[in-house]
Chain A
Amino acid sequence: MLTLVTFLPLAGGLLLLLLGRESHAAIRRVALLTSTVTFLLSLLLLRGFDATASGYQLVERRPWMSNPQIQYHMGMDGISLFLVLLTTFLMPLAVLCSWESIHTRVKEFFLMLLALETAMIGVFFALDLFLFFLFWEAMLIPMYFLIGIWGHERRIYAAIKFVLYTMAGSILMLVAIIWLYSLSGTFDLPRIQSLLQEGVIRLPVRQEMLLFGAFFLAFAVKVPLFPLHTWLPDAHVEAPTAGSVILAGVLLKMGAYGLVRFCLPLFPDASHKFAPWIVGLAIVGIIYGALVAMVQPDYKKLVAYSSVSHMGFVVLGIFVFNQVGMQGAVYQMLNHGVSSGGLFLVAGMLYDRRHTHMIKEFGGLATPMPVLSSFFILITLSSLGLPLLNGFVGEFLILTGAFERRPAWAAYAATGVILSAVYCGVTSV
């Protein structure tokens, strides 16, 4: 089942190859159909999910290579389920928003998009470190082309920056994965985890900190955590709308997902040791991102920096180590995926009409486009965390969790609440 959900998009993408280069309508329809079916299938996962059971569900495990022993090991739990749902939900939207705006190399575009979906879902389901790394790196290729071919003026620069930056982080992770393998003799995540917990393998403090650091760096780039965030504004600004939606909606979540899935359970001591520093960076990111967002003339950049701020909240929630904070972080991931995805959709629609992302060129849109501006305001309000809209719950829980652990943390982070009103005020139509 998990395999089906994961590889169906890729299969659809390969199907596209059989279609004629010029039959744009058919290509779009197949892409939409594929992504929609994937979404529906992933909804079935929700039905099959047993919320009361602990551990991974719907596990699939097949031997892949015998030496070194690598397994095709997939499974899901609550967090990965919801992140996959987020992915499959955003994908049809990404296809739809590219319907009119992509005219060149249509076939390749949708192929890339669908391949990207497979890689993303794979990342969330993979339980074998090697397999995980495979999907993780596979994600870069389609994203690189999406930005580099269908992007705006400085697309090449942005694409290269994105890939190199992410690679630099993940190379260290690869080293750490191999190191773990040499220690435990397996790539299997649950197995390594139980070996570590039962004390079969003991990591010296220094070693654990190095391993943690290697994983952490890879994920922190993806989140992105201050000060590793500067690839994001460039990538967002240059990417086509669909790319931005996926980038903000899903890719950023992978960093946070990695922290939850790998860093915390594998290296609990190191996580606790580094937590104050990481929380510090997260809080700096919250405030810094919001302040920098305030002065961006380019709307997409504004949203990019607001993502830095919002993802800072997620990291904060993860590293306060309590249930409330963690729940808040997961909520916030989903909410940010939806609301920033929505904001980029709006940005794309405005671009299609005005051919600019400059905020000062907008203004007075409520009269010619009442519907678009209503939704724009609604999504903006959600993103600034107005109660009853989804952004609020996550932010509230994270701050509650932070407050319980260290009131000062919550107080600093709460200034982000004020600043978000300021930068959203800048954009109000």
Chain B
Amino acid sequence: MMPGEYFLEHAGWIPLFPLVSAALMLFLGRRLPKFAVNLFCVGSVFISFVFSAGAVYQLAHRAAEDRFFQKILFIWIPAGVYHTTAGPLANFAADWGILLDPLSSVMILVVTGVGFLIHVYSTGYMAQEGGYYRFFGYLNLFMFSMLTLVLANNLLLMFVGWEGVGLCSYLLISFYFHKKTASDAGKKAFIVNRVGDTGFLLAIFLSSVTFGTIRFTSRGFEKLVDATQYPGMLDALNIGIASGVFAVGMPVLTAIALLMFVGATGKSAQIPLYVWLPDAMEGPTPVSALIHAATMVTAGVYMVVRMNSLFQMAPFAMHVVAAIGALTAIYAASMGLVQTDIKRVLAYSTISQLGYMFLACGVGAFVGGVFHLMTHAFFKALLFLGSGSVIHALSGEQDMRKMGALWSKIPVTAKTFFIATLAIAGIPPFAGFFSKDEILWKTFSGGEEVFYKVLWVVGVITAGMTAFYMFRLVNMTFFGTSRVEHEVEHHIHESPPSMTVPLIILAILSVVGGWIGKPASLGGVNHFERWLEPVIFSPPAALAGLAERALPAAHREPMEYILMAVSVLIALAGIWLARVIYLQREGLADRLAEKWGPLYTLLHRKYYMDEIYDALFVQRTKDLATALGMFDRGVIDGVGVNGSGALTLAICRISMWWDTWIVDGLVGLTGTLVRLGSYPARFVQTGKLQSYALVIVLGVLLLLGYFLRHAMGMV
């Protein structure tokens, strides 16, 4: 340990503060006053934030190549030795350790920072709700899981956090458990995520048998620790590349990468597992902001970036990631165009923006992906919190058709919301512009193939759609004529400071958050890229084909400006269109919807995807289960078990019949025969002494006669 690295040394505590507070809430919360709940729950997250900031600060003070801090707190699951596919024996062990490097630094700052603001906001938003302590207990439990996920030094511990955030997401979506839609949405989220988790789980197995370890890296241990004792996947990969065991595009590497990506599509709501996120909006709005926009749903992106070495070795998997990302981006944006529920628009927007992040990862711009993850966390959290503030002001109304002209009535909410909208629309100099532009540029320059150009076109169209639906939302909510219901109108009020202050801070971040990654072409130095550089895998020289593409294409700079202008212009076009349709020309929206009826319905009904999934998977699984249930009752238990029981009984009956009629019958027959045979004799046995005497006399006479004859004959 270098002197004065207190916070780094204690980075393992960062997840613990919310855990302690969560435990307190769930066991004792009911007896605590609201004030104490606030103090513990918000305070614990604040302390985590302070510790995170301190640790990152101390990490930043190290030299760039030393910015790794790894510490094993204890061995969690020690298990036996096994053979790896590479040959050597490995000792399977999952430790409980933390890894703080530039990547996890970004994540913990976003999680604790945005998380803290959302906790503060929640004290205002949830003030009137029942189950206050329960809500904060779950929220803190979520913070613990999320911090475990990002700080984990191995795949299995990451999986712990991964499942933990899924659980908290489930608990918080169905927070209003009396509402059937809410509890159904919770279950849906949990089950769909479970499908993805299975992919992740298999990826862990495959990694462990391929690399012999599931630890990410051996870097960052203290000098005293012998790092070779704690090999990481990255080391195994490097050794394998050097010795020729691993090569680019090897099936096993592609398989691991794709399996991980299956996990990512579940958690980060990508095609085909995105269906749970829109429904997740049933949860309280701060939950949507924290879990379903800023932090949890980005876990998939984090995972892909964390495993970027592996993905870079699997070009096919990269292509899949990019294609799925781009497809999800435009697909979700198209559904966002026509939604009328303010939170659902934001939900589809989130799916779409996550698609951007995966697009970035897929074209090798991992830094761009994380950059967009960060700026998106700022402005999307702000958008959700702002929409929460609107809903709060309108006594729970979420339908945008019953809003309008709120700009002057809730000014702070409206202005901050507007800033976030500019940011997501990609208008310079707001945060979203820089990150989105970096992604689009890296996509375009990702390669010479048509593939990358198509991805770029999709990305740009999505940017236009994003600007359109966001300004549609803003126009319907804050501008135009008021369509607010009469009795609600009286109660419209700006939210309390506990809610507006977080909005203001997030608004500031939505403006300046992007400057940290200002590209060289705009006179910046892109600190963000520099910061993340150490965690991005640079393939060894042996793999020259890969290395070439990673080089910045400096000579194409004019192109960069042109593309930048194109994306801004497209965004402006989207804004203009939204203004024409929703502000200037009354009724145009309805006429358009009518004219494009089938298309509108298709989008509005979300491509009927829920129905299709229901018909294809849900109902079929249920049918199968019902059929098997009947099979179990009828065939296995009925024919098999009860059948053999009945068979036994039948055999018993036959035996009994045999016994009665044959075996016993023979006995009886013998008796009958004897009786029949003795029938003549019975006439002799009369029981009269006289007749017996008569027989005796007759016998004697007979014998006498016999003897006499013989005697005479002898004589």
Contacts and interface: CB of A to CB of B under 8 A. Distances in A.
B195 A418 contact: yes
A389 to B, nearest CB: 10
A323 B81 contact: yes
Contact of A400 (B190, B198, B208, B621): B208
Contact of B205 (A392, A410, A429): A410
B31 interface: no
A71 B202 CA distance: 48
Contacts of A407: 202, 205-206
Interface of A: 161, 164-165, 227, 229-231, 288, 291-292, 294-296, 322-324, 327-328, 364, 366, 370, 374, 381, 386-388, 392-393, 396-397, 399-401, 403-404, 407, 410-411, 414-415, 417-418, 421-422, 425, 428-429
Nearest to A395: B201
Nearest to B85: A404
A394 to B, nearest CB: 10
Interface stretch (B155-163, B314-322, B378-386): B155-163
Nearest to A301: B629
A37 B632 CA distance: 42
B505 to A, nearest CB: 33
Contacts of A392: 163
Interface in B163-194: 163-164, 167, 174, 177-178, 183, 186-187, 190-191, 194
B221 interface: no
11 contacts: A292-B628, A295-B626, A295-B628, A295-B629, A396-B77, A397-B77, A400-B205, A404-B209, A418-B195, A425-B191, A428-B187
Contacts of A429: 177
B164 A387 contact: yes
Given A418-B191, A425-B191, A386 B167 contact: yes
Given A324-B92, A366-B177, A294 B641 contact: no
Given A428-B183, A428-B187, A411 B640 contact: no
B382 to A, nearest CB: 32
A397 B201 CA distance: 11
A359 to B, nearest CB: 14
B675 interface: no
Contacts of A404: 82-83, 205, 209
B625 A292 contact: yes
Contacts of B641: 161, 165, 230-231
Contacts of A411: 202
Contacts of B628: 288, 291-292, 295
Contacts, number: 116
A403 B645 CA distance: 40
A323 B632 contact: no
Contacts of B625: 291-292, 294-295
A327 B645 CA distance: 38
Nearest to A411: B202
A374 B171 CA distance: 11
B241 interface: no
B573 interface: no
A227 B629 contact: no
Contacts of B174: 428
Given A292-B625, A364-B178, 11 more contacts: A161-B645, A291-B628, A292-B632, A295-B628, A322-B80, A324-B79, A403-B209, A404-B82, A404-B209, A414-B202, A422-B621
A393 B167 contact: no
Contacts of B194: 417-418, 421-422
Interface string B103-136: 0000000000000000000000000000000000
B612 interface: no
A292 B160 CA distance: 28
Contact of B156 (A396, A401, A415, A425): A396
Interface residues of B, number: 46
B700 to A, nearest CB: 67
A366 B632 CA distance: 33
B16 to A, nearest CB: 14
A165 B197 CA distance: 38
Interface string B565-584: 00000000000000000000
Contacts of B163: 386-387, 392
A381 B145 CA distance: 15
A396 B637 CA distance: 32
A292 B623 CA distance: 11
Nearest to A378: B26
Nearest to A164: B645
A400 B92 contact: yes
The 3 closest A-B CB pairs, nearest first, are A323-B80, A403-B205, A230-B637
Contacts of A292: 625, 628-629, 632
Contacts of B83: 404
Contact of B622 (A164, A295, A364, A370): A295
B250 interface: no
Contact of A397 (B26, B79, B160): B79
A83 B206 CA distance: 32
A308 to B, nearest CB: 10
B636 interface: yes
B624 interface: yes
A427 B625 CA distance: 16
Given A288-B628, A327-B80, A421 B167 contact: no
Contacts of B81: 323
A230 B632 contact: yes
A388 B168 CA distance: 14
B190 A425 contact: yes
A411 B164 CA distance: 22
Nearest to A386: B163
Contacts of A323: 79-82
Nearest to B134: A370
A381 B167 contact: yes
Interface in B490-527: none
A229 B81 CA distance: 34
A253 B622 CA distance: 30
Given A393-B77, A414-B201, A425 B26 contact: no
A377 B626 CA distance: 25
B160 A387 contact: yes
A422 B201 contact: no
Contacts of B645: 161, 164
Contacts of A231: 641
Given A291-B628, A324-B82, A397-B77, A388 B190 contact: no
A386 B156 CA distance: 12
B374 to A, nearest CB: 27
Nearest to B208: A400
**Residue from A324, A387, A393 with most neighbouring chain B CB atoms (10 Å):** A387
